[in-house]
Structure 1
């Protein structure tokens, strides 16, 4: 059973009996309200069907890790050691020799000046009157182990070993370039060499000026 309800434009809306509430007969106004509600529901359904679901792309942690790994390997493979650059000044006068080596380029320089012990151009510990302060030594004034120098060289050794894992052209040679002032005391030189040996550097080249 169905009933007809006239719309404002004169068209007729068919209402099935199942759309009508049970009870006494409805007036024309009530039937018109029911028809309007039905049309509104139909419009909402049509709008929901045409609406696309919005979603935000999720960033994968795995993808980020892969990206960082690629960047790290790229930087390590393209790593290159800077050529040796020694600045000779009032506190550093090199020893003169008739023989020189041409293999200095890839060695880490350790300079012993009148004022500092310098590792790769970075001052590590102060030198005064040809001595290192007792506070900088593990066993005090009579000791040979210079703690700040050991820490610095150990970092250098660990860094070179990691580079060697990714770059075949970089090798840990356990060798240092000693750049010593010509007036450096033998005792101080011995302390530097001993400390370097404790940090896994047991081979040395000495920078000199060729006569």
Structure 2
């Protein structure tokens, strides 16, 4: 059986150009570059959890935060590692210098802590407090933390640009 002119022309065309295929070499190159990019840029950057309910005070601190237990304090409540412990109103209403709920939670955190339990040095904790919280609340929190053997206390602040660098002088 003889092919028509059109069928023969289509057959020649398909033989010449072939069917479209996927170039796997280029695709593998792209994925390799992407993997290296992700590996390089996924360094161990320590970031404190951000909360819209807290406005941290500003500072020119140069030291990066360590990975520690985080006590977050805003105008309504106190959170340890993201878990609500108690309310600020309840704490301010009492005359006690120590917050029992926070003390209990910090002892629990120290029992499951990966930090070495050295009684002379104490444990590390980072306090993220809103810049508008009253000082007496902060004093109660710090007293409670020292009672729970968290003596290495860091206060979280927002890094402010240095005034010399803002003006363009070095």
TM-score strictly above 0.5:
yes
Matched, 1:143 2:92: no
TM-score, normalised relative to structure 2: 0.60
Counterparts in 2 of 1:145 and 1:176: CA distance versus 1, 3 Å: same
Q: Which structure shows the higher strand fraction?
A: 1
Unpaired segments ≥5 residues, structure 2: 1-44, 161-170
1:171 paired residue among 116, 122, 128:
116
Q: Mark the structure with the bigger radius of gyration.
A: 1
Cα contact 1:100–1:208 (8 A) shared by 2: no
For 2:50 and 2:146, how far apart are their aligned partners in 1?
25
Alpha-carbon shift at residue 85 of structure 1 (Å): 3.6
For 1:94 and 1:100, how far apart are their aligned partners in 2?
16
TM-score, normalised relative to structure 1: 0.49
Cα deviation 1:5-60 (Å, max 9, x = unaligned): xxxxxxxxxxxxxxxxxxxxxxxxxxxxxxxxxxxxxxxxxxxxxxxxxxxxxxxx
Cα RMSD (Å) of the superposition?
A: 2.0
Cα deviation 1:116-146 (Å, max 9, x = unaligned): 1111111111113xx6254xxxxxx211110
2:67 paired residue among 106, 112, 124:
106
If asked which structure has higher relative contact order (CA below 8 Å, sep 6+), I would say: 2
Secondary structure of 1:132's aligned partner:
helix
- Aligned positions, number: 112
For 2:124 and 2:140, how far apart are their aligned partners in 1?
16
Unpaired segments ≥5 residues, structure 1: 1-81, 135-140, 164-169
Mapping 1:68-87, distance limit 5 Å? 83-87=46-50
Q: Which residue in 2 is equivalent to 1:121? A: 82
